[in-house]
Amino acid sequence: QCLLTGSWRSDTGCRMVVSLLRKDGSFSGSYLSGSDAGDSETLTSPLEGSQQDTRLVPQPTFSFTVHWQLQETARTTVFLGQCYVGTNGEETLHTLWLLREAAESSDDDWKATR
């Protein structure tokens, strides 16, 4: 059974910490970008998300949003993924993400999402 509570590390050194998983599947925590992510110092930002009911689906899908705590720019990242349990019982998260930066105008909208 996949439970998101705890600390998770990405291949690039970023870390997600889920500190509270509620009975309804919603969760909160923090996201720490790693030095491999292009930042000279580690940034910690809050996250909020939701996970499928693990009583119904043993390898649930989940999503969460990170609102970056950056003064120079407004950014939000949305992650969507699934938790897998291997034959050895180890939990692994597979995710896709979109990063959105605030655009100066609608003409710049095309370059605001990565």
**Looking at residues 100-106, what average pLDDT do you find?**
90
pLDDT at position 58 is 86
pLDDT at 36: 43
Q: What is the second-level CATH architecture of the domain 6-111?
A: Beta Barrel (2.40)
Instruction: Please give the structure tokens belonging to residue 97.
Output: 């993400």
Q: For the residues 91-110, what does the mean pLDDT come to? A: 92
pLDDT of residue 35: 54
Model confidence, pTM:
0.83
Give the residue, 41 or 23, on which the prediction is more confident.
23
CA distance 96 to 79: 6
Residue-wise pLDDT tens digits, 34-93: 754 455 455 789 999 999 988 888 899 999 999 887 767 788 999 999 999 999 999 999
User: Mean pLDDT throughout 20-32?
Assistant: 92
Question: Per-domain residue ranges for the chain?
Answer: 6-111
Collect all residues with Cβ–Cβ distance below 8 Å to 2 and sequence separation of at least 6: 51, 54, 58, 59, 60, 83, 84, 85, 91
